[in-house]
Amino acid sequence: MNLHEYQGKEILNSFGVRIQRGIVASNHKDAVDAAKQLTTETGTSWYVVKAQVHAGGRGKGGGVKLAKSLAEVETISNDIIGMMLVTPQTSAEGKKVNQVLICEDVYYPGDSEPEEYYMSVLLNRNTGKNMIMYSTEGGMDIETVAEETPHLIFTEEIDPTMGLLPFQARKIAFNLGLSGVALKEMTKFVSALYTAYIKSDSSMFEINPVLKTSDSKILAVDAKVTLDENALYRHKDYAEMRDLREENPIEVEAKAAGLNYVDLDGNVGCMVNGAGLAMGTMDLIKQAGGEPANFLDVGGTADAARVETAFGIILKDPNVKAILVNIFGGIVRCDRVAQGVVDAYKSMGDKINVPIICRLQGTNAVEAKKLIDNSGMEIISATEFQEAADKVAEVLAL
């Protein structure tokens, strides 16, 4: 689950990671109040207005702006709130901005060269260990750094049984070219950051930039935090941070119905039971020349109600031109699934406006095929995997 910058920073702060202070606001009046409060708390007289959307590269898209007075906070917030922010990480239409984070300006005027670093914490799936990735080249697109100057990106792997050891935190600070007070501050920053990552059950932290101020403070100016959804039951307060406005509405609905659904760009809707078979089905659709419109695992109980919900969700995607049902009946018998498909089809009537190809294999597959063929519904049955894919290609006239 992805979080907004202000929520990520809240979590970091709760574990003692120093952050650029900020207050979130959803209209320009609140933004001005937020700025006044920041001045009381931090003494800042300049502010940064930052669009809160689940996408990076906001600065490039005009979603991060410096305000040198309360009047500027008001006009800039007014401009940013409600805008469709387009960044290198959003679609062409962009993301609607509902809130801004009003931050203290931490790039002191007269600071000749504020140092910006890159730091992320994530799981290295190849070694099964968490690692800290870091670079002196912060503030910019890390993908470009990785491509053009990969030697400037360092990684430090952490042994899961021992955790981050003090020498590792010092090594990171040292590799970033720090000494004296800044080295000590960075060592503390890295330790607190790793503790926050572990204790919050996160799956990714990306802090770009980490800033060194001219008086050697180290702080997180940005925070991209992804929480491990499977651990949310341990963090009720984090679960409440979910912002459904940022998520794909069809995926939100599918999740509420207990379906495992991921929206994709193609035109063949898939309804499959089991993640492995779903992946195999998507591969086969591609081999036959089609493109899957979604990944959908309906799970073990493919009864009529579930099949109907799944059809409804698949059909919300206007790109869908055919639906392939591919279900293996192990414990759940194929004839019961077939009955479910037929019942769902009947009850949905003309809401189903695309051809359906249905392949049921496993227990009672023969009975299932008969049931479909004799249903009088326009459902094309198939027995073999390849046959099903070919029939999809046929109806799409590929």
User: Among 22, 209, 290, 329, which residue sits at the site for ligand GDP (rule: CB under 6 A)?
Assistant: 209
Segments of the chain assigned E as strands? 22-25, 47-51, 64-67, 84-85, 95-96, 100-104, 115-124, 129-135, 153-158, 202-212, 218-220, 224-227, 260-263, 268-272, 294-297, 322-329, 356-362, 379-382
22 touches ligand GDP (CB under 6 A) = no
Q: Which secondary structure element, helix H or strand E, spans residue 394, and what is its range?
A: helix 385-395
The site string for Mn ion over 73-112 (x = CB under 5 A, - otherwise) reads ----------------------------------------
Question: Which range binds ligand GDP by CB under 6 A, 105-113, 198-206, 233-241, 294-302?
Answer: 105-113
Q: Min. distance of Cβ 51 from ligand GDP in angstroms?
A: 8
Q: Among residues 377, 374, 316, which one has the least CA distance to residue 346? A: 377
Q: Which stretch binds ligand GDP (CB under 6 A): 9-17, 91-99, 101-109, 382-390?
A: 101-109
In this complex, which beta carbon is closest to ligand GDP, that of residue 190 or of residue 211?
211
Q: Which stretch binds ligand GDP (CB under 6 A): 52-60, 71-79, 180-188, 289-297?
A: 52-60
Q: What residue 282 binds from ligand GDP, Mn ion, none (CB within 5 to 8 A, per partner kind)?
A: none
| φ, ψ (nearest 5 deg) of residue 190 | -65, -45
Does 200 bind Mn ion (CB under 5 A)? Our answer is no
Least spacing, CB of residue 65 vs ligand GDP, in Å: 9
- Count of residues in contact with ligand GDP, rule CB under 6 A: 17
DSSP string covering 340-391: HHHHHHHHHGGG--S-EEEEEEETTHHHHHHHHHTS-SSEEEESSHHHHHHH
Distance CA 304, CA 38 (A): 56
Residue 206 annotated in active site? yes
What is the smallest separation between the CB atom of 114 and ligand GDP, expressed in angstroms? 8
Pair 327, 300: CB distance under 8 Å: no
* Residue of 118, 197, 238, 261 marked active site: 118
d(CA 263, CA 296): 9
Does position 222 interact with Mn ion (CB under 5 A)? The reply is yes
What would you measure as the largest C-alpha separation in the chain, in angstroms? 81
Closer CB to ligand GDP, residue 104 or residue 156?
A: 104
Half-sphere exposure of 53 (CA within 13 A, CB side): 27
Catalytic: which of 206, 238, 246, 345?
Answer: 206
Nearer to ligand GDP, 106 or 388 (CB): 106
What distance in Å separates the CA atoms of residue 224 and residue 5, rounded to the nearest whole number? Answer: 6
Tell me how far, at minimum, the Cβ of 5 lies from Mn ion, in Å. Answer: 8
Asked if 94 touches ligand GDP (CB under 6 A), the answer is no
Cis peptide before 150 (omega within 30 of 0): no
- Residues forming the active site: 118, 206
Residues that bind ligand GDP (CB under 6 A): 48, 50, 56-59, 64, 66, 103, 105-107, 139, 208-209, 221-222
